């Protein structure tokens, strides 16, 4: 280890030691001499008196040293920036939305206080920061900013990292920090816990120069974290009520022995009947990742629950969870099919009875080319790499590749991005009794053994941990696997189909994926076109989903007119076929009108319409807007026009309540304009209070 700057040099204790960059000149403040001396003794291997530093801080120093953190470090590393940062913020958008109002008000209150407030991900990466501008600027010197990684094992003892490591609020002041470069700061952090599961969703942190230190900052941080938890809890309560309402409505149509309701974070919300589950209400069901695709959940349901019993639940245009309908004994046999058997027959893309290319819909040139190539590869027992964006139907093609084989055998799927590297190894290769903590008492075969004589389909192969890739390569090359904790070789004969939405060539170039494994799994490649490139398939798919989902839910099929199909064609479909299916399902369930109107489409689809089409209903009635008041009037007229006089939808587009919109329509004398657009000034249901 490099020798410390001041230890044993005879130099006096520095007044500004540990203050990073511009911070020393801007906010000043001396660190505690006794704590600094104890830190120097600790990092040079000398004994530290028990009274010299608080035990929780000393424990954190020990963890920091064990993790190999450099005590002379000057700043935290930057974990994400640019597009990566945007993706990270998007992944934690619910947490950020719950904290947004608090950050806006708290940030204003902290202006001029030399303090800042930060929100981090559960991995300690800063998502947002607000507060005093001078301190925010100085914080950049140590990367206490969006994208900075403040986990304890990365940057040593600090408020954020220590709160994550201990799952408790933490206050780290001055010289208590492990890295010399951040000793000129004081920070107080509290973890934000997920309602129900108590898993850490993120951290709320208050930081500043040493003179901002106050013991009651700890209470403030805990209070702010609790406020965010309350906002999350209230939001989830409303969503759960909508989920239960939808589930109970479907249950009334089904001849079912039981029902399980699961929210979109994979937590058990409600269960009826005698359904064996290894989780209580509010707990996450084992194997269900938060916000994962329903198809992935279907493959990881608890033992005893079948994939075809799982169905997504859509409310308000978004998937709010899923339900498992357990059919009654003998349901659907020897007579008319019940709603639950119809649901099973028309389940997700994972239904093995759809495992053939004849059932893959698509007449576009891009889709015909992919299908023809798939048919050629189906009878060739070689590895196939199926590439394509999220939601294009990669597993549907994978099942068709397997189903088209005359060799038959089992079709076993596994998601490589669904678990830790330890669990992936156990899942793929199996384990013997006592191989690791949590191993089953009798041992278990892995996916390779289960797929013997058939096909092993590895989804999200690009997420495979780098250290496991040589093990996978060896199993593919030699056809032999070893269960964890075992020395007995087991011979397996599997055909591999790998799926990815990543560009594996780029991953190889970046060192994230082994080149030799890439060549092994990509002997042949099949790329599935995104929906935006499947010109001419939109009407075919939309009408197919309309027919299928109407029967599935036992509702009347609604008609999709030319204007609706034109709007669907204009949208870019980042979620591809899966997103289209979810939109159609929402349209079927949200209204009983015989025909779908353009105004019912989600806002993102309406936003993709050409401007001329949006203004078409009463073109020429909307005047130019020379002033601010006139601009507001124009905005109201355009929103009313876009939604053919529907004031509820116009209010949603404008981001105001219905009652506010009614008041503004009356203020600007737009009653006749509303009627001309096809609307009415009669309130549709009670107006919400202001």
pLDDT confidence tier of residue 329, bands split at 50, 70 and 90: low
With a pLDDT cut of 90, the percent of the chain lying above it is 39
Q: Is residue 292 part of a domain?
A: yes
Which range has the worst mean pLDDT, 96-105, 113-122, 150-159? Answer: 96-105
Average pLDDT, integer, range 633-662: 78
Mean pLDDT of all residues in 632-656: 78
pLDDT of residue 310: 84
Banded model confidence at residue 301, pLDDT cuts 50, 70, 90: confident
H helices of 68-158, where? 82-91, 93-110, 133-139, 152-155
Q: Residue 93 has what pLDDT?
A: 87
Q: Give the chain's length.
A: 690
Summarised one tens digit per residue, pLDDT across range 190-228 is: 999 987 678 899 999 999 999 999 888 999 999 999 999
- Over residues 347-367, the mean pLDDT reads 68
Asked if 415 and 520 sit in the same domain, the reply is yes
pLDDT digits (tens, 9 = 90+) for 528-576: 999 999 988 999 999 999 998 888 788 889 999 888 998 999 899 999 9
Whether the predicted pLDDT of 463 surpasses 50? yes
For 672, the 3-state DSSP assignment is: helix
Which of the two residues, 688 and 94, has the higher pLDDT score? 94
In whole angstroms, give the CA distance from residue 331 to residue 255: 7
Number of domains in the chain: 5
Confidence of residue 38 (pLDDT cuts 50, 70, 90): very high
Same domain, 524 and 547: no
Give, in order, the Cα–Cα distances in Å from 656 to each of 98, 106, 238, 645, 647: 19, 24, 20, 16, 11
Is a pLDDT exceeding 70 seen at residue 337?
Answer: no
Cα 592 from Cα 42, distance rounded (Å): 72
Contact residues for 195 (Cβ-Cβ < 8 A; gap 6+): 229, 232, 233, 236, 282
Mean pLDDT confidence for 451-458: 89
Looking at residue 127, which CATH number applies to its domain? 3.30.450.40
Q: What is the CATH number of the domain that holds 460?
A: 3.40.50.300
Comparing CA positions, the residue from 500, 506, 487 lying closest to residue 526 is: 500
- Same domain for 505 and 374: yes
Among the listed residues 558, 578, 573, 566, the one whose alpha carbon sits nearest the alpha carbon of residue 539: 566
Distance from C-alpha of 678 to C-alpha of 61, rounded to nearest angstrom:
69
Q: Are residues 487 and 519 located together in one domain of the fold?
A: yes
Quick: pLDDT tens for 155-171. 999 999 999 999 999 99
What CATH number is associated with residue 550? Answer: 1.10.8.60
Give a yes or no: residue 121 inside a domain: yes
Band of the pLDDT at 402, cuts 50, 70, 90?
A: confident
Indicate if the pLDDT at residue 353 is higher than 80.
no
pLDDT attached to residue 659: 78
Q: For residue 286, what pLDDT band results from cuts at 50, 70 and 90? A: confident
Q: Quick check: 307 pLDDT over 90? A: no
Say whether both 131 and 201 belong to one domain: yes
Q: Tell how far CA 480 is from the center of its chain.
A: 35
Higher pLDDT, 527 or 589: 527
User: How far apart, in whole angstroms, are the C-alpha atoms of residue 202 and residue 97?
Assistant: 13
What pLDDT was estimated at residue 622? Answer: 42
Condensed to tens digits (0 to 9), the pLDDT of residues 617-627 reads 444 444 444 45
Strand order in the sheet with 170-173: 126-131, 116-120, 200-208, 186-193, 170-173
Residue 334 in this model has a pLDDT that exceeds 50: no
Could you tell me if 308 and 324 lie in one domain?
yes
In this prediction, residue 421 carries a pLDDT of 76
pLDDT value of residue 36:
92
Residues 452 and 557 in one domain: no
Q: Is position 24 within any domain?
A: no
In a domain, 556, yes or no: yes
Res. 404: pLDDT tops 70: no
Examine residue 425 and state whether it is found in any structural domain, yes or no: yes
Report the predicted TM-score, pTM, of the whole model to 2 decimal places.
0.45
Same domain, 485 and 437: yes
Please report whether residue 440 resides in a domain.
yes
The whole-number pLDDT of residue 110 equals 84
Are 571 and 662 found together in one domain? no
Domain that holds residue 668: 617-676
Same domain, 127 and 220: yes
Q: Give the SS3 label for residue 559.
A: strand
pLDDT confidence bin for 256, thresholds 50/70/90: low
> 18: pLDDT confidence band, cut at 50, 70 and 90?
very low
- Which pLDDT score is estimated for 633? 75
Q: For residue 476, is pLDDT > 60?
A: yes
* Structural domain includes residue 64: no
Most confident option among 204-213, 261-270, 485-494:
204-213
Greater model confidence, 417 or 193: 193
């Amino acid at each position: 280890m490099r020798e410390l700057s001041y230890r044993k040099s005879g130099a006096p204790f520095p007044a500004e030691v540990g203050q990073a960059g511009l911070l020393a000149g801007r906010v000043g403040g001396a660190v505690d001499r006794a704590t600094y001396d104890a830190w120097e003794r600790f990092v040079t291997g000398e004994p530290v008196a028990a009274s010299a530093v608080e035990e929780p801080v000393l424990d954190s120093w020990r963890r920091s040293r064990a993790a190999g953190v450099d005590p002379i470090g000057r700043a935290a590393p930057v974990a994400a920036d640019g597009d990566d940062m945007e993706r990270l913020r998007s992944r934690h958008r619910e947490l950020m939305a719950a904290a947004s109002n608090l950050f806006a008000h708290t940030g204003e209150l902290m202006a001029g206080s030399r303090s800042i407030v930060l929100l981090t991900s559960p991995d300690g990466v800063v998502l947002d920061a607000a507060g005093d501008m001078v301190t925010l600027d100085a914080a950049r010197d140590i990367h206490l900013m969006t994208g900075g990684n403040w986990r304890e094992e990365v940057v040593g003892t600090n408020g954020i990292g220590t709160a994550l490591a201990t799952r408790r609020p933490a206050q780290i002041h001055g010289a208590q920090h492990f890295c010399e470069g951040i000793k000129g700061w004081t920070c107080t952090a509290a973890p934000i816990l997920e309602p129900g599961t108590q898993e850490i969703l993120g951290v709320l942190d208050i930081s500043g120069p040493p003179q901002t230190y106050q013991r009651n900052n700890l209470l403030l941080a805990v209070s702010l974290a609790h406020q965010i938890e309350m906002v999350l809890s209230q939001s989830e309560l409303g969503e759960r009520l909508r989920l239960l309402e939808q589930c109970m409505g479907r249950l009334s149509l089904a001849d079912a022995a039981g029902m399980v309701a699961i929210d979109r974070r994979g937590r058990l919300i409600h269960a009826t009947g005698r359904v064996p589950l290894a989780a209580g209400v509010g707990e996450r069901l084992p194997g269900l990742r938060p916000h994962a695709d329903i198809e992935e959940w279907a493959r990881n349901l608890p033992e005893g629950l079948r994939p075809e019993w799982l169905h997504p639940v859509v409310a308000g245009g978004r998937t709010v969870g899923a339900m498992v309908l357990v059919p009654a004994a003998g349901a659907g046999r020897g007579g008319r099919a019940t709603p639950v058997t119809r649901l099973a027959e028309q389940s997700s893309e994972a239904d093995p009875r759809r495992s053939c290319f004849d059932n893959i819909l698509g007449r576009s040139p891009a889709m015909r080319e992919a299908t023809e190539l798939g048919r050629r590869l189906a009878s060739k027992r070689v590895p196939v790499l199926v590439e394509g964006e999220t939601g294009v139907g990669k597993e549907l093609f994978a099942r068709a590749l397997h189903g088209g084989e005359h060799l038959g055998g089992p079709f076993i799927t596994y998601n490589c991005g669904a678990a830790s590297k330890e669990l992936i190894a156990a899942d793929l290769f199996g384990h013997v009794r006592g191989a690791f903590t949590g191993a089953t008492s009798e041992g278990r075969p892995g996916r390779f053994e289960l797929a013997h004589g058939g096909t092993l389909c590895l989804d999200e192969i690009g997420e495979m941990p780098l250290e496991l890739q040589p093990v996978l390569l060896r199993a593919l090359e030699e056809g032999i696997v070893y269960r964890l904790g075992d020395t007995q070789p087991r011979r397996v004969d599997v055909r591999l189909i790998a799926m990815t939405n990543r560009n594996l060539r780029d991953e190889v170039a970046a060192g994230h994926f082994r080149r030799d494994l890439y060549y092994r799994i990509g002997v042949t490649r099949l790329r599935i076109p995104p929906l935006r490139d499947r010109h001419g398939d939109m009407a075919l798919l939309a009408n197919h989903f309309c027919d299928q989902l109407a029967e599935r839910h036992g509702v009347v099929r609604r008609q999709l007119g030319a204007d609706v199909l034109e709007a669907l064609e204009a949208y870019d479909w980042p979620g591809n076929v899966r997103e289209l299916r979810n939109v159609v399902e929402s349209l079927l369930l949200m209204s009983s009108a015989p025909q779908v109107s353009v105004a019912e489409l989600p806002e993102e689809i309406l936003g993709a319409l050409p401007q001329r089409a949006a203004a078409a209903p009463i073109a020429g009635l909307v005047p130019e807007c020379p002033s601010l008041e006139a601009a507001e009037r124009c905005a109201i007229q355009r929103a009313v026009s876009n939604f053919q006089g529907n004031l509820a939808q116009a209010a949603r587009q404008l981001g105001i309540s219905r009652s506010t919109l009614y008041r503004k329509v009356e203020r600007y004398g737009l009653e006749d304009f509303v009627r001309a657009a096809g609307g009415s000034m009669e309130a549709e249901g009670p107006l919400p209070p202001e």
